[in-house]
Structure 1
Amino acid sequence: MALCLVWGATAVPAQAQADPAPADDAFAQLLENARQGNEAGDQQVGVEQNVCQVSASELVELASPVDGVIHAMYANRGQRVKKGELIAELQAEVEKAQVNYAKVRSQSQSSVEARKRQLEFTERRIKRTEKLRAAKLMTQEEIDTLETDRDSARLDYEAARENISVMKAELALSKAQLADRMITSPIDGVLIEKLLSVGEQVDGKAIALIAQLDPLFVEVSLPVAQFGKYHKGEKVSVNFEGPNLQARDAVVSLVDQIVEPKSKTFGMRIVLPNPDLAIPAGIGCHIQFLSPNKK
């Protein structure tokens, strides 16, 4: 039995009349045009529009190089952070104590000064006996004793100086071990989510999620029919779905050289400056090419 629509007394087959697309489906229609290729839009520069997606240029799952328990968190959700800014700190009482101990040892010069004074004393003794040695009023055994004392003092002095160098290296190692427990942001961005809280064990888990929102990446998927038509450096206007978001001009930074075989599309990336963070990542958009097509 055929399905039909009844209007008054007239029966019309359902397949013979297509309902007009609602206004809410405009974006869906635009997506369909991007998949199939909008031939009418390709005929004139500045007319074709292609669906795109705004994304963060970097998304970092902040982790720790060592295991431990979180002692403090210094950034909250939605907070802007700078590269190198301290985000979290693991418990580090032992590491701090090691740094202080190594610092005291490396700054101690008493041993070096003592060995230096001993060396200077033996050198003065040898100098005072120069006339006696010249006049052959000293035995060879006495001369050998003085020279041996001087050589031993010199070795002790060099060993003390080397020991200070070792202590400074130990201090640098202790500072590095302490720095591993201070988790800093590797990028300028916004803290999107705290994944762990104070008192929780890190144990290889991510601590926070940080997104770089300046610049943003605008990812576009174009039909294979347009492959080779656009190149790096093309000027575009990016129009956003959200209310009160004005279109922004940008430049194509990357055109993929590989076509996705299932969808018969290839990707294009646009770098979009966003210093005021007015454009949110994740929002839908469409682009309009502004510069002449390159053959």
Structure 2
Amino acid sequence: MVKLDEHPLMKKLADPGIQLTPKGRILGNYILNNPRKAVFMTTKELAGICKVSEATVVRFVTQVGFESYGRFQQTLRDLIDTDMPLTERMDLTFSGDPDTNRFQYEIYKDIENLKHLYESTDTGVMKKIIDCLAESAGIYIIGSRMSYPLAHYMGWAMTKIRQNVQTLNGSDSTSFDYLAIAAPESAVIIFTVSRYPNELLRLGKHVRRTGHKLIVISDNALAPLNNFAHLNLAAPSRFIPLFSSPISMMCLINYLLTELAGRYGDNMNKHQQKLEQTYRENDILFNLDNFLK
């Protein structure tokens, strides 16, 4: 887990040797002492509470290594989200005017998060992940607690594309058994969302020891499991969610599934024909002809 005072940004702000103007030092001290307040402030609000100009705020974030205030704020948001307890999230979610249209606001947040995903995702990493999934003999997809539904969805959908796919519950210790006896150099996808269960960290370390390829899909560029990944994708939120922000991660999943399906072509058609035959023979899925009989 990344602690606030151990993060490079906070260390930089606390470093007396960093070249900051006196007003820049005022800004740095305020952020050090009030990171959970500063993360939600506009440049105007931060300038006002520190009694400096907005131009000073803009110069300050450049001095500490960020190309824009938005990038600085996102880094601070990601850092705070890694360990913010549920009680504080509740206070953030239900603060302000009780008459606010929460339905519209939740949709607005998801739209903003999808825009951020579109602007920030590394398409080169996505291509490498798709290559890995297409070439691996076996694929294991793991989630735990809040991230298990994401793993289950991707795992179930991927069984419609290729063979040798298995979904594991990271809360079940038998996951270690399955990974220990998996085919050599299998691909392992672990989904992890705030506040990052330690059981997934242990599984990530286990995957690396067993020599499999570890792919991590998270909601935060600072998610602890990213440190063990061969490849990782993050779908960060511009907001600190009450529980999690699954929409952007679902968008990543659907893209990966679609691209992977395109790789298999005729082989996938044969695979799906077998599945459809099984569905018909065992009356597994709804069929209008049978329903009308």
User: What is the TM-score of this pair, normalised by structure 1?
Assistant: 0.22
Higher strand share: 1
Higher helix share: 2
User: What is the TM-score of this pair, normalised by structure 2?
Assistant: 0.22
Q: Which has the larger radius of gyration?
A: 1
